[in-house]
Amino acid sequence: MKTVPVEDSAGMVLCHDMTRIVPGEYKGPAFKKGHIVREEDIPELLDLGKDHIYVWEIHAGLLHENEAAIRMAGAAAGEGIALAEPKEGKVDLIAKDDGFLKIDVDALFAVNSDAEIIFATLHSNQRVTRGKIVGGTRIIPLVIEESRIQRVENICRDAAPLLDVLPMKALDTAIVTTGNEVYHGRIKDRFGPVVARKLEELGCRVIGQTFVSDSIDRIVGAIRGSIHDGAQMIVVTGGMSVDPDDVSPAGIKAAGGRVVTYGAPVLPGAMFMLANIGNIPVLGLPGCVMYCRTSVFDLVLPRLLTGEEITREDIVRLAHGGLCVQCEECRYPDCGFGKGV
C-alpha cells in the first residue's frame, strides 16, 4: 500500500471505500475498495476532496480480485453458463436457459483446496431455470499471485467443464399402463395423467397410452408396439411391487429390456426400474409416483433427457439425499432431495 497524488492514480487499485455525502440526500460509497481508478474518475475524486489516496501496488505476476474472479469463472463455465459482471470481487455464474446442472465435484474440491480461493455452487444433477445463479467465485485477498489462478484454470481445463447447464431433449414417449383393475374398467386410471403432466412439463410429447392386463405377453406386446410407433422412451406404470400379479418387471425383461436397476435407494421410489431396449430407455414406475408430489421419477427423468447414460452406480449414489421429507409445501428442485455428492 502506498500514497499517491490523485492525478497519478489511473490504473491503480483503491485500498478502501471512498464515501460521497450529499447532505439530506445520500451517504454511501462513490468508489469501493478494489476499484481500479480510471482517467475519468480523477475529477470526481478531486471533487470529493481527495488530493492523495491509498492504492495497492499490483506488480507483474499479481492479479486484482476482479480479474482473478473473471478468469476463474470463465475457465469453469460450460456453454450453458453466462457470467455476471464482477461485483465486490465476486463473479456469479448464471444459467443461460432452462436445463440440467452438471458439476464436476472432484474438480470443484480441487479448486477450493487453495484456502484463498472460493468457488461455491448449487448441488449437481438438478433442474435449473434460465437466469438462476448456479455458482459464484472470488478470491479472499484483494490481489493474488497469477500462478494460483493459472492452477485453477488448469483444473478447469481438465474438467471440461467444471460446471454447465445441459439442454434437455424432448423425447416422444409412450405410456404402458398395467393392471387388471384398470384394464377391466373397475377403477379409473389416475397414474397416466400424472406421468403425462410431468413429461409435458419437460417438453416431452406423449404419443400414446396403452392399457394392458397383468400379463407378461401383453406387456411385451405393448412395449414392442410402442417402439414400432416411434417411441423414444417408454414409461410403464403399475405392477412394480412384489405381489404375484405384479409382472411389469418380468414384462420389461421379456420385451428385451437390459436392466440397469430394479430398486433404487430413494424414498419415495424404492421399486423403480430402469432398463434399455437398444437406445430406448424403459422406466418402470412404482405407485408412489402417482400420489407423491416428488419421487425418484423426478430425479431420473431430467438426466435421461440430457442424453446421459445412467448406470447402476448413478442410481446407488442417489441414496445420499434420496430421502424426501415430504414438506407441507413442496419446493423441489430447490431442496436437498436427490442432491447427494
Residue pLDDT, tens place only, 272-309: 999 999 999 999 999 999 999 999 999 999 999 999 99
Report which of 261, 269, 330 is spatially closest to residue 299, judged by C-alpha positions.
269
Residue 92: all three cell numbers together: 456469479
Domains in the chain: how many in total?
Answer: 3
**Whether residues 143 and 187 fall in one domain:** no
Residue 231 contacts residue 173 (beta carbons within 8 Å): yes
**Whether residues 154 and 70 fall in one domain:** yes
**Residues 340, 54: Cα–Cα separation, whole Å:** 47
**Whether residues 221 and 311 fall in one domain:** yes
Residue 36 contacts residue 81 (beta carbons within 8 Å): no
Q: Which stretches of the chain are DSSP H helices?
A: 42-47, 65-76, 105-111, 146-159, 180-183, 191-201, 216-228, 248-254, 288-291, 296-305, 312-317
Q: What is the per-residue pLDDT across 187-231, written as a single tens digit (0 to 9) for each?
A: 999 999 999 999 999 999 999 999 999 999 999 999 999 999 999
Question: Which residues 6+ apart lie within 8 Å of 92 measured at CB?
Answer: 83, 84, 133, 135, 136
- Supply the pLDDT for residue 113: 98
Examine the fold and report which residue of 56, 74, 99 is the final residue of a domain before the chain moves on: 56
- Supply the pLDDT for residue 14: 86
- Supply the pLDDT for residue 58: 66
**Whether residues 109 and 21 fall in one domain:** no
Domain around 90: 62-165
Mean pLDDT of all residues in 324-340:
92
**Whether residues 245 and 142 fall in one domain:** no
Residue 258: all three cell numbers together: 437390459
- 333 lies in some domain: no
**Whether residues 47 and 84 fall in one domain:** no
Please give the model's pTM, rounded to 2 decimal places: 0.85
Does the pLDDT of residue 27 top 90, yes or no? no
- 341 lies in some domain: no
**Whether residues 116 and 183 fall in one domain:** no
Residue 51: which CATH number? 3.90.105.10
Residue 70 contacts residue 91 (beta carbons within 8 Å): yes
Residue 246: all three cell numbers together: 405384479
Query: Omega into 167 within 30° of 0, i.e. cis?
Result: no
Q: What is the per-residue pLDDT across 93-131, written as a single tens digit (0 to 9) for each?
A: 999 999 999 999 999 999 999 999 999 999 999 999 999
- Supply the pLDDT for residue 341: 64
**Whether residues 73 and 138 fall in one domain:** yes
- 286 lies in some domain: yes
**Residues 308, 232: Cα–Cα separation, whole Å:** 14
